[in-house]
Structure 1
Amino acid sequence: MHSANAPTARSRPATDLDLRPIAATLGIVLSILGAAMLLPALADVSSHHRVSGADVFLGTAAVTIFVGVLLWMSGRSAQTKRLDLRQTFLLTFCLWTVLSAFAALPFMWGPPHLSLSHAMFESVSGLTTTGSSVMSGLDDMSPGILLWRALLHWFGGMGIVVIAIAVLPVLSIGGMQLFRSESSDKSEKFLPRVGTIAKGLLLSYALLTALCTAGYLFAGMTFFDAVTIAMSTLSSGGFANSDSSIGVFANPAVDYVAIVFMLLASMPFPLFARALTGDVTRLVTNSEVRLFLLIVAAFTLASFAQQTFQGVAHGEQAFRGALFTVASLISTTGFMAVDYTNWGPLSDALFFVLMFLGGCTGSTAGGMKALRLAIAGEAVRQHLKRIFYRNGVFPIRYGGAPVADDVVASVLGFTFLFFATFVVIGVSLSCMGLDLRTAFSASIASLSNVGPGLGPVVGPATNYSALPEGAVWMCTLAMLLGRLEILTVLVLLLPRFWLR
């Protein structure tokens, strides 16, 4: 028998999802974003630029910090000591969407006075380190707005995730789940404590940014250009301070500095954190790093040969153009030193394939990632062997170690979703009136967080401002899906996720 006051199945809540720790964590990170808006305000005040947005940045900072404090106060009394899986996925999604919305405010309220769709596109492109832009006339923009774009890249590249991990212990909430939900990889904890992870990643990220800044200064950049472009480089972002991107400098030294640090940004940052503790050998012996560098070398050689045989360029100029473009695309940075879309159809085919690949896992780069490509390739080879030797046992190995079946299944599942999403977005853009070259290159450029696509509409010499508004929103969604690696967003669409 049931007592009169006993809860029945019908009276139970449909969900037991506690939103308080999510609100508290989101409030802290949002307050940090608001405080960062004071830096562009200071840059505009100190520069005395004819178009200043200092008052706009001060206003948006006040609004952002105010909302952040309210969210923190609403959730700080949470008794939850550990995030469960559902809270982790929801927090990860909220971090990127809510922060993008507030990061868009300076683009709407002050110069360049973008529309809502364009402002969201620009902020999402910044935080997801895609580097696509709808803004033109960058050479005449105030230092504040240029610095804000670079800061969005820098925070998006590593800062948002690491900050979230660092602030969770303040709320007595474990943060390792958030770090893992940022990717569908099954990587091991590379250091014993979450706090050590955050410190190691932040320190290595900051040191590489400082070294990149020094390299650009040595190559002849001004201090402001060196700092902002270094932040774009290490985040694999691609925002520059000119409509001509890196090409405005026409300086081989700048190109080579960018190449070095774009490639470094594509390597696993956990290995850099290990290097700070004295374990440097893993940077050389890591199987994924070696595969990544082999892919870079192969595509560089192919592009160099194509330029040479077709008379596009010769010698060092052809080599530098090939290496810079390959490094820019495979790292998903999207800087442009030369307009590679003028190199012919073979070049378009090479670079279109390159947009899918991406850097290493644990890097700031987007794309498929070298580790997944290697495991998927091993799975195909295993299947082919089983066709000929039906009674044979062929375990999948990577880096000398066996790969668990669930990891292989996860990689293959992600690969299918990645290509399916690419096709759906490409077809959708085509239905909005874009030609196939533009539609599908914009699709993969957004999904892989590369930035520039192919052709005269979204190519490296132009931007995305000519797209219809629906296509702008579609590319914005693709950038978020790519940064969150699809699964983190799709799981929120399952009704079962919200049920008790």
Structure 2
Amino acid sequence: MLIPMTVDLIYKNNDWSIFMLSSFFTFFIGIVLYFSFKNKKNKINLSQAFILTVLSWIVIAIFSSLPFVFSSSKLDFTNAFFESISGITTTGATVIINLDNLSEGILIWRSFLQWFGGIGIIVLALAILPTLQIGGMQILHMEHDDPYEKTLPKIGQFVIEIFLIYLFLTLICAFFYFIAGMSSFDSLAHAMTTIATGGFSTHDDSFGSFNSANIEWISIVFMIVGSLPFVVYLKMMHGNWKSFFKDDQIKLFFILIIVTIGITAVWLLLNSSEKSLYVLRISTFNVTSILTGTGYSSSNYSEWGGFGLVIMFIIMFIGGCAGSTTGGVKIFRLKILFGSAKSQIKKLNQPHGVFVTSFNQKPVSDDTFNSVMNFFFIYILIFIIASLLLSFLGLDFLTAISASASAISNVGPGLGDTIGPLGNYNSLPMSAKWILSITMLVGRLEIFTFLVLLSVSFWKS
């Protein structure tokens, strides 16, 4: 909170005092908790790891909401918590109206929440979830083979190097935004939310307010950069450049994004009078934004017609690669599901043949495959339940299903006039915002990390 406080002091905004008081209060609570548990040397067991993971995100969201409540944004606690949880989960759904009139401190605070959440997600995905064996994430242990383990024997060094890569990419992104025409403030704020694939902007019209092809193409590149597995960047940093071209996730991700952009661009060319270069630009930007879960917008894709809406709705669920800042089902799960379906078809043609589903040239275990299947089923089930609850509260069909899909996949904007690229979540009922807040958190924590806490047997053990 000292960062936005400093920004407000530089820009002479009165909100600096709110950030100072909020930081002191948060620091005080942290010190009290630290000394309360300082002398306890017990190792954390598996059950405690689940509890700690979930509680950490909730507690951070609560304390992060304080500036939204007491600053010039003047949000009530429900809206402040929604904005905060949307930030740290890198969802990017917002309830704030008139972003252009907010103080620079609040705007940079929103960006920082997403940037902080992004690095937290990477560490969670690469260092914690594989150990907890959540939703097939244990397959990421396959990425920690000898060459990787020899260069990074300690988790502390691993986290530091990931952070340095994350910081470096953010600064490079900010530099390119700046030379493309953004102000120094906008370039830094948007660089943080681009690498984090978060989508918070400093303007109500998002990237449409810049109306710059150069800025949009830069954003496209760095949204993709944030969607690729950071462990591959780590390997490249240690000299293993071939890993980028060998990774199954990366290959499938680029196939999906190129095919989707191509289909969308052709559809728009056939149904609009716009020039082909402009159509390619807006389709590439908005498809990349939704597929990566970033949530920026440069045009109102809710007006792309029925086929365009279906495309955007479907790709909301996909997300980027595991070990990146993105949400969604993740590319590695799709790769395993596609591979399993392919093996099953071959088995039907050759009943006595042996066909094995592989990932990065290594066989996928039955436990991993079952975890992926269970994750996919529960993922869709939660989406359906959230959609039904939102519909029960009076939301129209398109708003209900797109809000649920956007929340569980941590995308941000939905579809339609209410929560689409030109709208926001401010007008939704308070109960709907709590449903979506929980859905965002569940999706961000890979579902089972959260759901296991609802099990009676978990608490008995």
User: TM-score per shorter chain, which class?
Assistant: over 0.9
1:180/1:209 CA distance change after superposition, 3 Å: farther
1:61/1:182 CA distance change after superposition, 3 Å: farther
Higher relative contact order (CA 8 A, sep 6+): 2
Question: What corresponds to 2:440 in structure 1?
Answer: 479
1:160/1:389 CA distance change after superposition, 3 Å: closer
SS state of the match for residue 426, structure 2?
helix
- Quote the Cα distance in structure 1 between the aligned partners of 2:133 and 2:119: 11
Give 1:400 shift: 2.3
Question: What corresponds to 1:101 in structure 2?
Answer: 62
Question: What corresponds to 1:425 in structure 2?
Answer: 386
**2:5 partner amino acid:** A
Question: What corresponds to 2:40 in structure 1?
Answer: 78
Give 1:314 shift: 2.5
- Quote the Cα distance in structure 2 between the aligned partners of 1:456 and 1:181: 40
1:276 alignment partner, one of 232, 237, 258: 237
- Is it true that 1:320 corresponds to 2:281 in the alignment? yes
- Quote the Cα distance in structure 2 between the aligned partners of 1:156 and 1:365: 11
- Quote the Cα distance in structure 1 between the aligned partners of 2:273 and 2:414: 20
Give 1:181 shift: 4.3
Q: Is the 8 A contact 2:121 2:325 kept in 1?
A: no
1:67 alignment partner, one of 29, 33, 36: 29
- Is it true that 1:47 corresponds to 2:11 in the alignment? yes
TM norm structure 2: 0.95
- Is it true that 1:382 corresponds to 2:346 in the alignment? no
**1:380 partner amino acid:** A
Q: Is the 8 A contact 1:83 1:177 kept in 2?
A: no
Aligned residues: 451
- Quote the Cα distance in structure 2 between the aligned partners of 1:94 and 1:209: 28
Structure 2 unaligned residues grouped into runs of 5+: none
Give 1:176 shift: 4.5
Question: What corresponds to 2:218 in structure 1?
Answer: 257
- Quote the Cα distance in structure 2 between the aligned partners of 1:480 and 1:254: 31
Question: What corresponds to 1:292 in structure 2?
Answer: 253
- Quote the Cα distance in structure 2 between the aligned partners of 1:390 and 1:285: 31
Question: What corresponds to 1:141 in structure 2?
Answer: 102
**2:82 partner amino acid:** F
Give 1:192 shift: 2.6
1:178/1:454 CA distance change after superposition, 3 Å: closer
SS state of the match for residue 357, structure 1?
coil
- Quote the Cα distance in structure 1 between the aligned partners of 2:269 and 2:61: 43
Question: What corresponds to 1:372 in structure 2?
Answer: 333
Q: Percent identity?
A: 36
Give 1:94 shift: 0.8
- Quote the Cα distance in structure 2 between the aligned partners of 1:161 and 1:498: 28
C-alpha deviations, 1:228-272, integer Å up to 9, x for none?
100000001000000001111101110011000000100001111
Question: What corresponds to 1:172 in structure 2?
Answer: none
Question: What corresponds to 1:439 in structure 2?
Answer: 400
2:367 alignment partner, one of 406, 431, 449: 406
Per mean C-alpha deviation after superposition, the further-off stretch among 388-397 and 441-450 is 388-397
**1:144 partner amino acid:** G
Structure 1 unaligned residues grouped into runs of 5+: 1-36, 166-174
Q: Is the 8 A contact 1:183 1:484 kept in 2?
A: no
Per mean C-alpha deviation after superposition, the further-off stretch among 228-237 and 194-203 is 194-203
Give 1:381 shift: 2.6
Question: What corresponds to 2:2 in structure 1?
Answer: 38
Give 1:182 shift: 9.3
- Quote the Cα distance in structure 1 between the aligned partners of 2:426 and 2:62: 19
Give 1:402 shift: 1.3
- Quote the Cα distance in structure 2 between the aligned partners of 1:478 and 1:209: 28
1:310 alignment partner, one of 258, 264, 271: 271
1:488 alignment partner, one of 446, 449, 455: 449
Trace 1:199-210 onto structure 2 (pairs within 5 A). Answer: 199-210=160-171
Trace 1:130-209 onto structure 2 (pairs within 5 A). Answer: 130-159=91-120, 162=123, 176-177=127-128, 180-181=131-132, 184=135, 185-186=137-138, 187-188=140-141, 189=144, 190=148, 191-209=152-170
Q: Is the 8 A contact 1:372 1:411 kept in 2?
A: yes
Q: Is the 8 A contact 1:159 1:202 kept in 2?
A: no
Q: Which has the larger radius of gyration?
A: 1
Q: Is the 8 A contact 1:43 1:143 kept in 2?
A: yes
Per mean C-alpha deviation after superposition, the further-off stretch among 422-431 and 382-391 is 382-391
Per mean C-alpha deviation after superposition, the further-off stretch among 62-71 and 268-277 is 268-277
Give 1:385 shift: 3.4
C-alpha deviations, 1:47-106, integer Å up to 9, x for none?
024xx21111111111100001111111111112x4221111111101100000000011
- Quote the Cα distance in structure 1 between the aligned partners of 2:23 and 2:304: 45
- Quote the Cα distance in structure 2 between the aligned partners of 1:156 and 1:354: 22
TM norm structure 1: 0.87
**1:214 partner amino acid:** F
Per mean C-alpha deviation after superposition, the further-off stretch among 366-375 and 277-286 is 277-286
**2:407 partner amino acid:** S
Give 1:388 shift: 4.2
